[in-house]
């Protein structure tokens, strides 16, 4: 999809782009390069759970050698694991740093950094509180998944949307742009999801707080390098979390 705006359109906004990484040595450098091309004024944050493959070190070296300096931050969590906790840590950095917008995306190039300007401009132009990159609306797509995973993910998302009365069709994808003031306004969750379910949980809590949620179509492309960390157990745990989230106020 073509960009409707020039890459530096949001120069008045302070934008933090967070990518969470576990064993993304083969992807992190390309990701950072492409994010900086897409949004030259944004700050990139890598939240790495002490990956044994040296992801954090590659990101640090990239920051030094590319001259990115303070516009690439690397946070290493030594004793914690889990995508949900890592995204929460990135959100907290956005809140503490008084950023205006926080964009979150996968670090394996499944989410195309070239879509970042579209998410950001939609947030600004439509005065949205959260913009969700969606695989399940017209124009959205998934490339490279076997049909079984597509069907499973589509069904889980339809079920989650219905059960939690969410206003979006893609609750489990984490390509999003948030207004930081809305994240800062959320009460700290009492028992937050540490795994992939956090992606649904934060959307639900924002929606219940009255946040304006807008969807834009994205194409999700299965990674070429590295492996997914979403195993069957975590997928089930995340899906069943819907029932726990029914109790979220
Ligand atoms: N810091 C940290 N990052 C993690 C962890 N587990 C996964 N990640 C990072 O989270 C991103 C997505 O993880 P994958 O394991 O590659 O997920 P996927 O199978 O490609 O996609 C599924 O999960 C995505 C979560 O964003 C979803 O967007 C997508 O819908 C899909 O269901 C990657 O950047 C990966 O490195 C963790 O424990 N800690």
Atom 18 of ligand 1 has which residue's CA nearest to it? 228
d(CA 42, CA 57): 21
Residue 5 pLDDT > 50, yes or no? no
Which atom of ligand 1 is least distant from the CA of 108? 34
The pocket around ligand 1, CB under 6 angstroms, is made up of 20-22, 24, 47-49, 81-83, 86, 106-108, 110, 172-174, 196, 223, 228-230
| Residue 17 pLDDT level (bands cut at 50, 70, 90) | very high
Atom 31 of ligand 1 has which residue's CA nearest to it? 173
Which atom of ligand 1 is least distant from the CA of 82? 38
Atom 19 of ligand 1 has which residue's CA nearest to it? 228
pLDDT in tens, 147-182: 999 998 999 899 889 988 999 999 999 999 999 999
- Give the residue from 86, 80, 100, 84 showing the smallest Cα distance to 18: 86
Domains of the chain: 15-245 (3.90.550.10)
Query: How many contiguous H segments (helices) and E segments (strands) does the chain have?
Result: 8, 9
Q: Are 178 and 102 in contact (CB under 8 A)?
A: yes
pLDDT in tens, 30-87: 999 999 999 999 999 999 999 999 999 999 999 999 999 899 999 999 999 999 999 9
Which atom of ligand 1 is least distant from the CA of 172? 30
Atom 36 of ligand 1 has which residue's CA nearest to it? 21
Which atom of ligand 1 is least distant from the CA of 22? 36
Cβ neighbours around 68 below 10 Å, total: 17
Q: Ligand 1 centre and the CA of 228: distance in Å?
A: 7
- Best of 229, 237, 238 for a ligand 1 pocket test (most atoms within 8 Å of beta carbon): 229
**What pLDDT score does 108 carry?**
97
pLDDT in tens, 168-223: 999 999 999 999 999 998 877 666 777 888 999 999 999 999 999 999 999 999 99
């Amino acid at each position: 999809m073509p960009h409707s705006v020039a890459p530096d359109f949001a120069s008045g906004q302070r934008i933090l782009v967070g990518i969470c990484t576990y064993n993304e040595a083969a992807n992190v450098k390309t990701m950072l390069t492409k994010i900086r091309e897409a949004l030259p004024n944004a700050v990139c944050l890598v939240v790495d759970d002490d990956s044994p493959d040296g992801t954090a070190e590659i990101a640090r070296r990239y920051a030094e050698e590319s001259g990115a300096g303070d516009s690439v931050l690397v946070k290493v969590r030594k004793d914690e694991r889990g995508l949900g906790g890592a995204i929460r840590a990135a959100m907290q950095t956005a809140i503490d740093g008084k950023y205006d917008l926080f964009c979150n995306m996968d670090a394996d190039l499944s989410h195309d950094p070239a879509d970042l300007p579209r998410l950001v401009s939609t947030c600004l132009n439509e005065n949205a509180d959260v913009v969700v990159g969606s695989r399940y609306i017209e124009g959205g797509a998934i490339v490279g998944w076997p049909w079984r995973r597509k069907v499973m993910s589509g069904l889980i998302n339809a079920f989650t949307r219905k059960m939690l009365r969410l206003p979006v069709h893609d609750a489990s994808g984490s390509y999003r742009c948030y207004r930081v003031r809305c994240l800062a306004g959320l009460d700290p969750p009492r028992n937050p999801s540490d795994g992939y379910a956090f992606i649904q949980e934060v959307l639900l809590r924002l929606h219940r707080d009255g946040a304006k949620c807008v969807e834009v179509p994205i194409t999700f492309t299965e990674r070429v390098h590295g492996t997914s960390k979403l195993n069957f157990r975590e997928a089930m745990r995340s899906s069943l979390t819907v029932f726990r989230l029914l109790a979220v106020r």
